[in-house]
Structure 1
Amino acid sequence: MSEKLPLVLGSGSVFRKAQLERLGLAFQTALPDFDETPAAGESAADTALRLAEGKARSLAAAFPAALIIGADQVAWCGNRQLGKPMSVAKAQQMLLSLSGQCIEFYSAVVLLNTDSGKIYRHVDKTVVTMRCLDAAQIGRYLEREPDAVYCAGGAMSEGLGAALLERVESSDPNALIGLPLYRLIGFLQEEGVSVV
């Protein structure tokens, strides 16, 4: 059990930071330095878990006695991984191709205790069914939700992106935003960190 180890969120994501802030825990953020290139033949779930763990481990030297949270999300549709579009043009193209489709989101979370070396791993699967969308709807959405270009699949479910979705199936609604909080809370409790 860790005694007052600092909590570090290894992510530059404003979305994950906001999720963790809602738990009311004291934490700091640090940018991980890890290559996020998918490996050949790797499943989406394996990619998400490898990247989440790699991000956490990349910060271990800087935080030798801490609880480091690593997270990553990979979207999968039509036998291919979907990245973050990073531009409006790519987001428009991606969202048009996803219109009416089912997308699987694999959201991985890792908690690494750099003092004891203990690591906890989890991948949450969320299946999202997109509404049938036309180019005009997608254009209006991206005008009103410009940060969507930084989200896997180009849709921010926690914002106006909800209008793009027809159905969401998940054991943890937080996972789709990027951080599976239900499992993370359990990991933190295992390390002696009480959320409530």
Structure 2
Amino acid sequence: MSKPSIILASTSTTRKHQLNCLGIPFQAIAPTCDETPLIGEFAPDTALRLAKNKAYSLKAKHKNSIIIGADQVALLNGQQLGKPLTIDNAKIMLANMSEQSIEFYSALCVLHSDFDHCQTHIDLTCVTMRTLTYQQIEHYLDKEPDAIYCAGAAKSEGLGAALIERIDSCDPNALLGLPIFKLVEFLNNEGIDII
């Protein structure tokens, strides 16, 4: 059997950049996935369900492939924060996050399409935000308009780092969208050596 192809079930430029850093060839393909949280669903369950749905949505059309699905959900005071998708929603989210601690659940699914072998992981990152003024929030969103496509509008890989006071995580990559430490382990389990 030929070596499996690697597919990232995502159009996220940040996730593509993260996977590029591992130096392995892959394709990034848009998954088909309704990202609406289910009523009463816990944040880590939402993140994992969506990561799996993204991977499985590409399974039928991509034989002999390792498909990587990922999703992230932010949780503030027991309420899930999705992607704001508009500047106005982002302003409200960020104002509510000021001086608060937010939990980011970054879920990973690595699926071998031929064998239906699925490995999953959820990484928890706790982020404490600085005191944010309305002017700072507006300036941030002017400089980082793509933040509206990030969970909680927190684009930490860019200017969003200035919003953050502290990050607690086992894998600093997870906050960006892909828990790389676990991804390397899962790829190794599928016979794909990174180094």
TM-score by length of 2: 0.98
Q: State the match for 2:114 in structure 1.
A: 115
Shift, 1:54, TM fit:
0.7
Deviation beyond 4 Å, 4+ runs, structure 1: none
Shift, 1:87, TM fit:
1.4
SS of corresponding position for 1:153 = helix
Q: State the match for 1:38 in structure 2.
A: 37
TM-superposition CA deviations, 1:29-88 (whole Å, max 9, x none)? 111112211111111001100100011001001102100000000000011100111111
Shift, 1:188, TM fit:
0.2
Q: State the match for 2:51 in structure 1.
A: 52
- 1:1-196 alignment, distance < 5 Å: 3-196=2-195
1:9 and 1:28 in contact (8 A); partners too: yes
TM-superposition CA deviations, 1:142-185 (whole Å, max 9, x none)? 11111111110111111111100000000000000000000000
Q: Distance in 2 between matches of 1:30 and 1:158?
A: 22
1:108 and 1:122 in contact (8 A); partners too: yes
Q: Distance in 2 between matches of 1:40 and 1:93?
A: 22
Shift, 1:98, TM fit:
0.7
Shift, 1:5, TM fit:
0.1
- The amino acid of 1:191's aligned partner reads E
- The amino acid of 2:8's aligned partner reads L
SS of corresponding position for 2:120 = strand
Q: Distance in 2 between matches of 1:142 and 1:29?
A: 27
% identical aligned pairs:
53
- The amino acid of 1:78's aligned partner reads N
Shift, 1:3, TM fit:
4.9
Q: Distance in 1 between matches of 2:151 and 2:82?
A: 5
SS of corresponding position for 1:33 = coil
Q: Distance in 1 between matches of 2:9 and 2:45?
A: 19
SS of corresponding position for 2:80 = strand
1:3 and 1:192 in contact (8 A); partners too: no
Shift, 1:4, TM fit:
1.0
- The amino acid of 1:54's aligned partner reads N
Structure 1: segments with no counterpart, 5+ residues: none
Structure 2: segments with no counterpart, 5+ residues: none
Q: CA RMSD in A?
A: 1.0
